[in-house]
Chains A and B, each alone.
Chain A
Amino acid sequence: MAADFYKPMRLNEVDSSFAQQIKAACDTDVELCLECGKCTGGCSNAHIFDITPRKIVQLVKLGAKDTLMSMDSLWTCVSCHLCLDRCPSGINIPRIMDYMREQAYHQGVRARRPNVELFHELMLESIKKTGKVAETPLMIKFNLHSGQYFKDADLGRRMFFKGKLSPFSPRIKDTTLVRRLFARTPVHREG
């Protein structure tokens, strides 16, 4: 379809100081990008990304912060770090992805994959309360909160008979320091 062939990306908001902001926050310099495309070539999930790694670096240079905060790729990146390892200039794309996700989260940009965000929040809630993650209660909570009540019910049954499921939540004796870390971040669900 000829009409689908060329889709220019429309950038509404640009911020000329953004590349500097990334350099300070992520300790990585996008100006070193050679535009070779090795990052996208190796990317585990480029086939489902709306914006691929090489373009992400380019958008940082262009200061397209809003576009980056609202892209779907933020929530489908598996953090495999292949892009970083293959980059001849050592640009830390995984760190940029984390930073953009963090910014989007703190600025209240709606996550394009709400279940991913939900899972992270529930996990952090568990760590905040107990210092640890209890896998089985986390899975059950995730199913309830995401409205997928019977997700993986059959798998759960098989895992139960292998002794892989435990209803108990381990907890550390002293949660003071963990709580102190959480005191300065809103990245967990209340409740």
Chain B
Amino acid sequence: MINIAYYPGCSLHAMAHEYDISTRLVCERLGLQLQELSDWNCCGATAAHSLDHQLSIGLSSLNLALVDAMQLHRVTTPCAGCFSRLKTAAAELKKDNQAAKIEKMTGMALTGARLVEVAHLLQVMVEDIGIDVIKEQVVKPLTGLKLAAYYGCLITRPRTIVQFDDPEQPSSMDWLLQSLGAETVNWSHKAECCGGGFAASQTDIVVDLGGQVLEAARQAGANAIVVACPMCQANLDTRQKAIEVDRGTAYNLPIIYFTQLLGLALGFSAQQLGLNRLLTKPFALLSALNLA
């Protein structure tokens, strides 16, 4: 049993609830004990780092301090945005002068918080649990699924801070999905941006960038896109209709969290994993392959 602190982030308690529930189910099955931080605060997301660097680092430092207070030294989050903010704060706190500034701002000692390590959930899956171990637990292979593993920006970038996988040609999610029996396509846009935090404030940018991602996945012959970030999911799923109108192409590509597919392969039902909550319905695809 591996113990790790769990930071779900705001999205997983709201729109991306299905990412939270599928994460909890698969982690429990795989022997990863997630301990949710008590009374965690928002990481500040794009808003904080866009307008105030110190505020952004401060907000995530508070969460790192909560990890330390639980006497854990490692925290994971399924959200690429939260991951990036936590990881950046952890890197900043390594600098003595920056740590001193944040300690002054928060009025608390961050000695323990400075030692906390941050890992994205995908990283924990492949590095802590291991693909071989996951493969042994598969009861329903995802045979017939042709998937585009989409990493987006912040799971692997910037490489100096993240230090996980390859930022140009990431492959960890591909290996994971292949170990579940699915096929993954070789495609151009696995690490391109979906438009990130601009879903509401500049929808046209999301329609533009997200449209390129959907089109590339279609051309590569994928029948679904797999994500490890609630923003990637929301942008590609909720804006898919607008993208179809913009590009004059029907995509009908379900945007599925990797934890949901992992859960299916481990024997959980589509309902348990919240697959019914996706806007672009995956059921025609999954039932044709006897997967749901």
Seen from chain A, the residues whose Cβ lies within 8 Å of a Cβ on chain B are 44-45, 48, 76, 78-82, 84-85, 90, 92, 94-95, 98-99, 101-102, 105, 113, 115-121, 123-124, 126-127, 131-136, 139, 142, 151-152, 155, 158-159, 162-166, 170, 172-174, 177-178, 180-182, 184-185, 187
Contacts and interface: CB of A to CB of B under 8 A. Distances in A.
B40 interface: yes
Contacts of B106: 177, 180-181
B202 A102 contact: no
Contacts of A123: 45, 47
B2 interface: no
B105 A181 contact: yes
20 contacts: A44-B209, A78-B153, A78-B197, A79-B50, A80-B154, A98-B53, A101-B50, A102-B51, A102-B52, A120-B47, A124-B44, A135-B10, A135-B14, A136-B14, A165-B15, A166-B14, A177-B41, A177-B107, A187-B52, A187-B55
Nearest to A97: B50
B159 interface: yes
Nearest to B92: A27
Contacts of B198: 78, 116
A182 B14 CA distance: 24
Contact of B46 (A118, A120, A165): A120
B269 to A, nearest CB: 17
Interface residues of B, number: 55
B105 A142 contact: no
B15 A164 contact: yes
Contacts of A135: 10-11, 14-15
B211 interface: no
Contacts of B154: 80-81
Contacts of B15: 135, 159, 164-165
Contact of A102 (B53, B200, B276): B53
Interface in B157-196: 157-160, 167-168, 192-193, 195-196
Given A81-B158, A135-B15, A105 B153 contact: no
Given A81-B157, A127-B41, A166-B14, A45 B205 contact: yes
Interface of B: 10-11, 13-15, 17, 39-42, 44-55, 58-59, 62, 105-108, 153-154, 157-160, 167-168, 192-193, 195-198, 200-203, 205, 209, 238, 241, 276-279
Q: Output the residue of A116, A163, A170 with the most chain B CB within 10 A.
A: A116
Contacts of A78: 153, 193, 195-198, 205, 209
A92 B160 CA distance: 11
State the majority secondary structure of interface residues on A. helix
A90 to B, nearest CB: 7
A185 B52 contact: yes
Nearest to B57: A181
Contacts of B52: 102, 185, 187
A127 B49 contact: no
A133 B10 contact: yes
Q: Which 4 pairs of residues, A with B, have the shortest CB-CB distance? A: A119-B201, A123-B47, A80-B193, A120-B47
A158 B279 contact: yes
B53 A115 contact: no
Nearest to B106: A177
B38 to A, nearest CB: 9
A15 to B, nearest CB: 20
A121 to B, nearest CB: 8
Contact of A80 (B45, B107, B153, B238): B153
B46 A127 contact: no
A133 B51 CA distance: 16
